[in-house]
Amino acid sequence: MWALLAYAPPMNARALPHLAEITEPGTVRLLASQTQLPVDTGASPTGTVVLVSAAPATSASATSASADGASAPGEPIATVVRTLAEAGSARASLWRIVAAEGHLISHSAAALAEADAWLARPGVDDAALTDLTHLPFVTIDNAGSRDLDQAVHVARAGSGFRLRYALADASYYVRPGTALFDEALSRGTSYYLPGFALPMLPRVLSEGLISLNPRVDRRSLVMDMQLDADGRCTAAKLVRARVHSRAKLTYAGVQAMYACGDRHPMASRSWAESLHALRDVGRLRLALARARDVVTFQRTEVDVQLDGAAFSLVADRRLPVERYNEQVSLLCNMEGARLLTCGAGDPDVHGVFKVHPAPPAEKLGRFERLIDGLIQTRGLDRELWGWKRGREALADYLDRLPRDGPQARVRAAIERQAMMANVSSTFSDAPAAHHGVGAAAYARFSAPMREIVGVFTHKEALEQLGLVSPADRDADLALRERVIAAGNAARNRQARLTKAVNALVLDTLLGRELRMGPRRPWRVGTLLGMSATKLYVQLDAPPVEVKVYLRDVQGSRARVSAHGACLQLGDHTLAVGDAVELRAEGRSERSGRWTFAVRPAPST
């Protein structure tokens, strides 16, 4: 997870700005095209990343451009709109990653004009909306979140619960055929990096009019669900409503209330009982997920933050309230999928579903062989460590392995290998199982401001309910294909961004250590897995994963066992789950790959 701070380009800048870097006084280079332009850079030093607005090319400026794309010296034809990052800073490196992906930094004049028009007629007083402003909805999110998609209210109802999950009504404002929709489709989603986000929608909408901000009325689609005493959903309906969030809460704040009870300041607030009911529902839903053999992986994530001009890494283990809130969101998406599948016979309903196949038998077979190899290599108790595949759910197997003590690293490695057996999820036009959440069908209802799929899915659900008129059938089918393609492409793009950021952070960390020369430290980590060419190690501090390429390990020849549980590395035998020590030895400028020295960690 990444902590977010707002980056907001000025709303009066109607020309699309460009990311650029000052190369010398009076000159910038556009990062996307490498074109150089004359510009008044003021006193900003070389390497500063700026946002520039290029003036329309005149015949004079066009003829002055050289063959290599650089403009000849002359009058400035670009204006610095804003300084984004200091030269040499971590933020400057992040903006270069953004530029390499070709992201649009701002929205077009047409999209911004449409957003401004909605501010003048927000539609919140629509008489067709069901008024739910009397209910104390709240949002629960990370402290830095500003695009608030969901608000929750839970009430006890007899032996069960009534759960209302309010979703931002983005599809009311972002309609096919508009510039807002077209640009959301081109982006596919909002993108997140340490310290800032690139929103799918203009911020006046995603952080303003559409966002379920506290103490203001907002349009919303509310999934209204009845739950029995075991947390099973017995009835659900989708309502277009007006809601009024009472507060913007954080996960840490709600968890503190759970811990302190009546002594906490929130215990007397109007939404306190709803939060306690949310905890009960969350626990029940987690138990039901377990009954569906859903695996809950116990991993510590690394929160990459910007600390001034540098990165800081913070271990981030999820709080219980995050899992409770997640379960409510998952249930909403399952019920949304059920709604869409009920309309499968309607030729005007064109649902989009998230599909996640179960792990292939081949991958599960390799996982099983690895476990057998570990039992043999490490002399483990087969009754405790053996997986009874076909007779025991993977979730049950992982849950009974020891989490603490001398074998904790072995368990962590086995869990990581179980994760690697999974395959990716994708958006599809046909409902199918989602293995990761244990659902027969699953649709992304819960992120309507951050995913184009959410905007389209809401539209289709409203058409099915007769709340909006259906679109032209052939045009809607064609649009659905574009939405699915955009959703899948956006997922891959965010993965590339995350990978590039992680590589940048690792380069920063190890580069600093390499400059220490012989004083550079050995870092302890867990050997999570291996292949014929690589070792996969998670460091203890910070808990980041690194790849060690065996051919680069100095002075060693490696032989990996047939079951993939151990290898001979020089004079050392290493097994999956071992504590190992790594020390950075160098980095290839051509491949960007790090070279490490590897040795077993001393016994403790």
Give residue-wise pLDDT tens across range 222-240.
999 999 999 999 999 999 9
Q: Note the pLDDT of residue 1.
A: 37
Q: Note the pLDDT of residue 459.
A: 96
Q: Note the pLDDT of residue 299.
A: 66
Section 448-463 average pLDDT: 96
CB 304 within 8 A of CB 295: no
Task: Name the nearest CA neighbour of 462 among 449, 445, 475.
Answer: 445
Section 161-177 average pLDDT: 98
Burial 561-573 (b: 16+ CB within 10 A, else e): bebbbbbebeeee
Q: Note the pLDDT of residue 26.
A: 86
Considering the chain, what percentage of its residues have pLDDT values greater than 70? Answer: 90
Residue 434's SS3 state is strand
CB 537 within 8 A of CB 576: no
**What are the backbone angles phi and psi of residue 573, rounded to the nearest 5°?**
-105, 125
Residue 366's SS3 state is helix
| 207 or 306, greater pLDDT | 207
CB 241 within 8 A of CB 220: yes
- Residue 432's region, left for phi above 0, alpha for psi from -120 to 50, else beta, is beta
Q: How many CA atoms lie within 13 A of 478 on its CB side?
A: 7
Query: Strand locations in 16-168, DSSP E?
Result: 18-24, 27-30, 36-38, 49-54, 78-85, 130-131, 138-141, 150-157, 160-168
Q: Note the pLDDT of residue 74.
A: 47
Q: What is the residue whose two structure tokens read 């460091």?
A: 539
Dump pLDDT digits (tens) for 568-582: 887 888 999 999 999
* Confidence category of residue 55, pLDDT binned at 50, 70, 90: low
Sheet holding 217-227, edge to edge: 130-131, 233-244, 217-227, 160-168, 150-157, 138-141, 247-250
**Separation between Cα atoms, residue 582 and residue 598, nearest integer Å:** 5
Number of H helices, E strands in the chain: 15, 26
- Is the bond leading into 542 cis (omega within 30 degrees of zero)? yes
Q: Note the pLDDT of residue 560.
A: 81
Separation of CA 388 from chain center: 34
| 562 or 587, greater pLDDT | 587
**Separation between Cα atoms, residue 475 and residue 348, nearest integer Å:** 11
Tell whether the model's pLDDT for residue 8 goes beyond 60: no
**Separation between Cα atoms, residue 221 and residue 310, nearest integer Å:** 41
255's CB contacts (< 8 A; 6+ apart) are: 319, 320, 321
Sheet holding 579-587, edge to edge: 545-549, 534-539, 523-530, 579-587, 594-600
Section 370-380 average pLDDT: 94
Q: Note the pLDDT of residue 69.
A: 47
Q: Note the pLDDT of residue 554.
A: 56
Section 368-372 average pLDDT: 95
Q: CB count, 10 Å around CB of 152? A: 25
Separation of CA 354 from chain center: 15
Q: Note the pLDDT of residue 79.
A: 85
Tell whether the model's pLDDT for residue 34 goes beyond 90: no
541: which DSSP letter? Answer: S
Q: How many CA atoms lie within 13 A of 105 on its CB side?
A: 29
Q: CB count, 10 Å around CB of 368? A: 17
| 294 or 68, greater pLDDT | 294
Residue 391's SS3 state is coil
Is the whole model's pTM more than 0.85, yes or no? yes
**Separation between Cα atoms, residue 579 and residue 413, nearest integer Å:** 11
Section 476-503 average pLDDT: 95
Full set of structural domains in the chain with CATH? 18-103 (no CATH), 127-299+321-347+444-489 (no CATH), 517-600 (2.40.50.140)
Q: Note the pLDDT of residue 444.
A: 96
Tell whether the model's pLDDT for residue 78 goes beyond 80: no
Q: Note the pLDDT of residue 221.
A: 98
* Confidence category of residue 65, pLDDT binned at 50, 70, 90: very low
Q: Note the pLDDT of residue 7.
A: 34
Q: Note the pLDDT of residue 315.
A: 67
Dump pLDDT digits (tens) for 144-166: 899 999 999 999 999 999 999 99
Bridge partners of 20, per DSSP, are 30, 50
- What average pLDDT does the chain have? 89
Q: Note the pLDDT of residue 6.
A: 34
Q: Of 10-14, 127-131, 314-318, 513-517, which range is least confident?
A: 10-14
CB 537 within 8 A of CB 546: yes
Q: Note the pLDDT of residue 490.
A: 96
Distances (CA, A) of 416 to 9, 193, 367, 529, 542: 41, 24, 10, 8, 17
236's CB contacts (< 8 A; 6+ apart) are: 223, 224, 225, 226, 335, 338, 339
CB 531 within 8 A of CB 518: no
Section 345-370 average pLDDT: 92
Q: CB count, 10 Å around CB of 283? A: 15
Q: What is the residue whose two structure tokens read 């009546």?
A: 262
Q: What is the residue whose two structure tokens read 């499968």?
A: 344
